[in-house]
């Protein structure tokens, strides 16, 4: 006759410890996914800012020296990116005939606006 004290299975303590370990692992995984999604969104926004800046600076280069006047202009990036605003400042040419170009792009973020500055020179 077998003894009743030799039952096979898990005790309540073992089940609770396994559940706690599983819960901690799932929490860590969900935190990692959340962080990855946030970093991906920030990276997408930074890439878009760089693309918009490159587009605006290419427009300036296409105008050539004759079409450029010192001063500040501003606007948006059209229907697709209306929430992104730009401000372009062209400076007077210096003694080496270089014109400094400062471009500020304002990008909407949660609860605030972030400004990114780009500068270059045209000769």
Per-residue pLDDT of the chain (123 residues; tens, 9 = 90+): 555 566 678 899 999 999 999 999 999 999 999 999 888 888 888 888 889 999 998 888 888 767 778 899 999 998 998 889 999 999 988 888 888 899 999 887 766 778 889 988 887
Q: What does the pLDDT read at residue 110?
A: 62
- Whether residue 2 lies inside any domain: the answer is no
- Whether residue 70 lies inside any domain: the answer is yes
Residue 27 contacts residue 19 (beta carbons within 8 Å): no
Q: What does the pLDDT read at residue 105?
A: 92
Q: What does the pLDDT read at residue 103?
A: 93
- Whether residue 6 lies inside any domain: the answer is no
pTM across the whole model:
0.66
Q: What does the pLDDT read at residue 111?
A: 66
CA distance 35 to 84: 25
- Whether residue 32 lies inside any domain: the answer is yes
**Residue 18's domain spans which residues?**
12-122
CA distance 82 to 76: 6
Three-point CA angle 40, 44, 46, nearest 5°: 115
Q: What does the pLDDT read at residue 115?
A: 86
Q: What does the pLDDT read at residue 72?
A: 93
- Whether residue 4 lies inside any domain: the answer is no
- Alpha helices (H) in the chain, listed in sequence order: 12-63
Q: What does the pLDDT read at residue 23?
A: 96
What's the structural domain count of the chain?
Answer: 1
Cβ within 8 Å of residue 39, ≥6 positions away: none
- Whether residue 18 lies inside any domain: the answer is yes
Q: In this structure, what CATH number is given to the domain that contains residue 22? A: 3.30.1300.30
- Whether residue 113 lies inside any domain: the answer is yes
Q: What does the pLDDT read at residue 70?
A: 87
CA distance 84 to 74: 11
């Amino acid at each position: 006759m077998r003894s009743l004290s030799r039952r096979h299975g898990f005790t309540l303590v073992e089940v609770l410890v396994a559940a706690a370990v599983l819960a901690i692992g799932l929490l860590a995984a969900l935190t990692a996914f959340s962080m990855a999604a946030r970093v991906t969104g920030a990276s997408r926004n930074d890439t878009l800012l760089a693309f918009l800046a490159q587009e605006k600076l290419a427009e300036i280069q296409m105008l050539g020296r004759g079409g450029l006047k010192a001063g500040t202009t501003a606007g948006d990036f059209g229907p697709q990116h209306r929430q992104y605003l730009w401000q372009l400042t062209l400076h007077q040419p210096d003694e080496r005939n270089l014109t400094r170009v400062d471009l500020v792009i304002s990008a909407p973020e949660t609860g605030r606006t972030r400004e990114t500055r780009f500068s270059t020179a045209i000769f």
